[in-house]
Structure 1
Amino acid sequence: MKSRESLIRLKQFQVDERRRQLAQIESMVDEFKRMARELDDQILAEQERVGITDVGHFAYPTFAKAAAQRRDNLLNSAEELNGQLEAAREDLREALEELKKFELLEERDQIRERQERDAAEQDALDEVAARRKSRI
């Protein structure tokens, strides 16, 4: 019984670790997207400041070109992390299934033990009742 309890604690730890990893990846994706939006705002502000929105124009601001490149890199990184995010979600689902399986086994064993205890108590009560009846 103790080994199963240890195994359940291990599975719970694994589930918690998978949740932490999932949250970390989600946070990174959100942060990359937020940074990309900020760069978009900076690009638009720079374009308005100089009055040139055509990227091919010879006087297009260098800052806007560099910011656009950084934004694209961030969005690409966020997209790559989405693949890791799906893998992390699948790992969490699998860990939860394993935990649930062991918890169900533990619950089944506890029910069986309770039934055995109840049966032993009932046997003891039946024996006491039989002794009383035989005295009468």
Structure 2
Amino acid sequence: MTRSHEPLIRLARFKVEELQKQMAELDRSRQALIDQIERLEASVPEEQAIATESKEGFLAYGSYAQAVIKRKENIRLSLEEVDIQANALRGRLSEAFQELKKYELLEERRLARIEKAVRAAEQDELDEIAQVRHRRPN
């Protein structure tokens, strides 16, 4: 008989799980970056309100606004990089899933062949018993 594909299935399943973990980590990183952008955007109205209270605050607000804009640009660049990595990882994950399914299908076919051979052997045995009984005088 052919060898079991179980070791290949375990290895492929491990690879899929590792890639899924990496994808989850990228998703968490992406969400953290989005959260940072939202916090920056939420802080702007507060800082604008404070800036209107004094001349020093008004003068400092310009620097603050430029820093916020620069920070958001940097975060968006980081977000783009995470998206690029996630897209590449999705491709690898898809390939890993296909490989896993291929090995699982091969194993199903192998087990079906074994089951068919066992049933055929059992039927041959039953046929032989029936022939012996049929030949025997009563």
Q: TM-score, normalised by structure 2?
A: 0.86
Quick check: 11-20 or 70-79, which moved more? Answer: 70-79
Q: Residue type matched to 1:48 in 2?
A: A
Q: Partners in 1 of 2:21 and 2:8 — Cα distance?
A: 20
Q: Is the 8 A contact 1:39 1:68 kept in 2?
A: no
SS in 1 for 2:59: coil
Secondary structure, counterpart of 1:127 in structure 2 = helix
TM-score by length of 1: 0.88
- How many residue pairs were aligned? 130
Q: How much does 1:72 deviate?
A: 2.2
Aligned-partner residue type, residue 51 of structure 1: T
Question: Residue 71 of structure 1: CA displacement?
Answer: 2.4
Match of 1:55 in 2: none
Root-mean-square deviation (CA), in Å?
1.7
Structure-2 separation of matches of 1:94 and 1:135: 62
Structure 2's unaligned 5+ residue stretches are none
1:59 partner amino acid: L
Query: In the alignment, is the contact (CA less than 8 A) between 1:8 and 1:102 conserved in 2?
Result: yes
The higher-RCO structure (CA 8 Å, 6+ apart) is 2
| Identity between Structure 1 and Structure 2 (%) | 38
Cα deviation 1:29-63 (Å, max 9, x = unaligned): 111001110111112210122139xxxxx825133
Instruction: Assess if the C-alpha contact under 8 Å between 1:43 and 1:68 holds in 2.
Output: no
AA matched with 2:59:
A
* Alignment-derived partner of residue 102 in structure 2: 101
CA distance in 2, matches of 1:21, 1:51: 46
